[in-house]
Structure 1
Amino acid sequence: MTAAYSRHWRTMLAVNAAVMLGVFLHKLTLPPYIPYIHLLVDFHHGFIKRALIGAIVGLFTTKVPVWLVFAIAGSVWLITFALFVQLFRRTFGLNSAQLPLFVFTAGSPFVFKNFLFTLGHFDVYGCLGAIILMLVPAGSLGYVLLAALTSAVLVLIHHIHLLMYVPTIAAIVVLRYYLPRRTTRLDMAVGGAALIGLGALFLTAQFLGTMPLPEADFTAYLRTRMADPTRTELLQFAYVWYQPLTKEVQDTWARLPSNLLGVPVYALLLWLHAPLWRTFRDLIGALEEQRHRQIVIAALVVITLAYLVMFAMVFDYSRWISSWVVCMVLMLHAVKTLPTTKPVALIDAGDRTTTILGWIVTAIPRVGIIRPF
């Protein structure tokens, strides 16, 4: 890499940091409707979906200020970013040659920038859980149990994690634990039991986790947990805990025509990451065993199908496509742990087109929540 191109990629890191700071400051000006109410809902009235975070907050305070949304979510974002840097350093290294790949992953508008814009939502927790499972040793059956526990916590935070990040976590477990060793019956039994248990937990949360009291009583209880109970506008999404799955699907399909208008934008954003996708393709192609390639491709298909189901059920399309890219980045790291027949060249830092794409990706601040930007 020439000194000129090296300066380009290092400057991109600084610009990315400035853009992330700008996204964070902008987020502070927006009312945290959904994130705040998640800090208020707990298990006071029995098992309720989407209540784990609020229950944990309730262990430490009886009155929840609005600023706590940003304090908690910001801390989780910082921890996740720090662990991602550690993961990237361990998987690829973090010298000049790896800077372009770092820019196209950590600096992508799909990834940490969008986590900042969705601050307070639950998406980043799935990424955090997957990164932890990439960093800890995978040498014993305890690793499978840890993955199952992590997935269960994610489902209790929000049951949609079963589609959003649990398939990626399962793929990481397969690649890191099951593929490198001869699988025993106990291994298969524990893995199968974990999948069945997570499925049962999801169904329980989805269909039995609705609020058992009238909505007026529910919002009255939430006001007792608010530091400022006069801000009733922050409770306008309380209906979410009463809305059946059929209504969510109906709303999603009603919005489908307008949401599909964003597909060309998503396609363009994905194309801007072409150097990242080429690296991923080459890494899969270089795997030593054909069986490993087949399993990796099957895992990517399953992860993508789970997101397609989410697209049919819930209309936060910008969040879903962003989290899908995050899952692809996590799978890139997982695939890199498998043996290959030859070294795989990373993104060419000296290529002019790649540098232009890197600058465009760097300049885009985020993708959004429902519609692009």
Structure 2
Amino acid sequence: MNLLVRENPWRLMLAVNVAVVIGVLLYKITREPYVPYVHLLVDYHFGFTKRALIGAVVGLFFSKVPVWLVFALGGVVWLITLGLFTKLFQRTFGFDDAHMPLFVFIAGSPFFLKNFMHTLGHFDIYGCALAICLLLVPARSLAFVILAALGSMILVLIHHIHLLMYVPTIAVIVVLRYYLVQRLTGLNAAVGIAAAATIGLLFLAAQFYGSMTVPQDEFVRYLHGRMADPTRTNLLSFAYIWYQSLAQELHDTWERMPSNILGVPVFALLILLHTPLWQYFADLIRSLAEDLHRRIVIAGIIMVSLAYLVMFAIVFDYSRWISNWAVCMFLILHAVKTLPASRAAPISATDRKTTILGWIVTLVPRVGIVRPF
């Protein structure tokens, strides 16, 4: 064992990460799935409704929704995302020893798969899975732009906050994989603008016209009728979120700001633990063959980060937002690697400081949902 730790600690870190994920899963299935379960109950029974797409799809197969479906559906989506990311990393970098530290810092990051396991049943992972798919499929025609737009609209119907959470990253992927390669033309520019406008209009419809119009008691009674176990009425305690206005969400977020802002130093420390990864990302950007590509990548990173700042001001699930921001950076890194002359020395597998940081990142089980851990 000591010889394995000294000669190949990075593969041992992967094994430890698997154990940590199993531990997070065992912890998660003991918790009440308040918000995820309600999302499986809400559909379009009362007309166009925000956050209702997944519930509507579930309703096609289940007249009565069991609680275990939260973990079953969430687990399947998690496994699909793991498989997609593994395929993406293999295609982009490969699984040789030279790139094993990079894989550990990304796949083993508490921001990524481990935190998706902790937020099992939430909607964040759907945006990540779509973005990975767009990094895997060919990007040689306008069909790629249309596919990205359709996927983004589905995300907005799942939850309109995806407009800030993953749609900006999807836009960056489309620009880097399609527009920088095919070059801008009148036709593809028009399609891109039309796609962006359509997604924006759908978001506005969900945000301002997707709230419930029936009395809350009637809405709750309908959800109660869809429960497989109607005795667990405590799981309906979050039904009020379909009645919250944007103003109310802003008020709640800023009311909690003084206590939630205390977690920022912890988030900063977690980001610093990934320093070898960020240094590698910066080297990739500096090595790009064209200065225009470099400027566009930097602008894309700024745009995605600004979207998350807006989200921080609106909704207080800070641990989820900072985790998904990091995941977006991981995905953009993969897109940058495909650009011309994007080469950088791999993260050192023998540097002592890097190895220590790798172990710390491996042992941190998750980031959380609202507050750190």
For the superposition of Structure 1 and Structure 2, which TM-score range results when normalised by the shorter chain? over 0.9
Measure, in 2, the Cα distance between the counterparts of 1:97 and 1:109.
22
Structure 2 residue aligned with 1:29: 30
**Matched residue, 1:203:** 204
Distance 1:68 1:369 in 2: 21
Distance in 2, Cα, partners of 1:163 & 1:263 = 20
Are 1:357 and 2:357 counterparts? Answer: yes
| Contact 1:159/1:205, CA 8 A, preserved across alignment | yes
- What number of residue pairs does the alignment pair up? 371
* CA distance, structure 2, for counterparts of residue 288 and residue 13 of structure 1: 33
1:3 Cα deviation from its structure 2 partner: 7.1
C-alpha distance in structure 2 between counterparts of 1:183 and 1:249, whole Å: 38
Corresponding residue of 1:182: 183
Mapped contact 1:5–1:350 kept (Cα < 8 A): no
Q: CA deviation at 1:23?
A: 0.3
Match of 1:58?
A: 59
Query: Which residue matches 2:346?
Result: 346
Equivalent residue for 1:227? 228
SS of aligned partner of 1:30: coil
Q: Distance in 1 between matches of 2:46 and 2:182?
A: 46
Q: 1:172: which partner in 2?
A: 173
Aligned to 2:157: 156
Task: With the length of structure 1 as denominator, give the TM-score of the two structures.
Answer: 0.98
Q: For each residue in 1:46-87, what CA deviation from the matched residue of structure 2 results, as whole angstroms up to 9, or x when unmatched?
A: 000000000000001100000000000000000001110000
Q: Which runs of 5+ in 1 are unaligned?
A: none
Determine the C-alpha separation between the residues in 2 that align with 1:175 and 1:274: 24
Partners of 1:362 and 1:186 lie apart in 2 by: 47
Distance 2:274 2:365 in 1: 15
Following TM superposition, by how much is the alpha carbon of 1:346 offset from its aligned partner in structure 2, in angstroms? Answer: 1.3
State the secondary structure of the residue aligned to 1:179: helix
Offset of residue 7 of structure 1: 2.0
Distance 2:71 2:26 in 1: 11
How far did residue 131 of structure 1 move? Answer: 0.2
What letter matches 2:188 in structure 1? D
> Structure 2 CA distance, aligned partners of 1:101 and 1:220?
50
Moved over 3 A (4+): 2-6
| Residue matched to 1:253 | 254
Please give the secondary structure, in 1, of the residue aligned with 2:13.
helix
Displacement of 1:330 after TM fit?
A: 0.2
Instruction: Give me the whole-angstrom Cα distance separating, in 2, the residues matched to 1:125 and 1:18.
Output: 24
Map of 1:369 onto structure 2: 369
The one-letter code of the counterpart of 1:125 is Y
User: Counterpart in 1 of 2:289?
Assistant: 288
2:13–2:104: 8 Å Cα contact kept in structure 1? yes
- What is the rounded CA distance, in whole Å, between the counterparts of 1:175 and 1:335 in structure 2? 7
Instruction: Tell me how far apart the structure 2 counterparts of residues 300 and 329 of structure 1 sit (CA, whole Å).
Output: 11
Compute the displacement of 1:29 (Å).
0.4
Alignment of 1:91-102 (within 5 A): 91-102=92-103
Sort the Cα spacing of 1:184 and 1:122 in 2 relative to 1 into closer, same or farther, 3 A.
same
Shift of 1:5: 4.7
- C-alpha contact (below 8 Å) 2:5/2:12 kept by paired residues: no
Please name the residue that 1:73 is paired with.
74
Q: Among the aligned pairs, what percent are the same residue?
A: 66
What is the CA–CA distance in structure 2 between the aligned matches of 1:181 and 1:130, rounded to whole Å?
A: 20
> CA contact under 8 A between 2:84 and 2:133: conserved in structure 1?
yes
Q: Deviations over 1:117-166 (max 9, x none)?
A: 00000000000000000000001100000000000000000000000000
Q: Is the 1:5–1:349 Cα contact (8 Å) retained in structure 2?
A: no
Distance 1:38 1:219 in 2: 13
CA distance in 1, matches of 2:159, 2:196: 17
Aligned residue for 2:8, secondary structure, equals helix
- Once the two structures are superposed, residues 10-36 of structure 1 have per-residue CA deviations (whole angstroms, 9 ceiling, x without a partner) of 110000000000001100000000000
8 A contact 1:316–1:371 mirrored in 2: yes
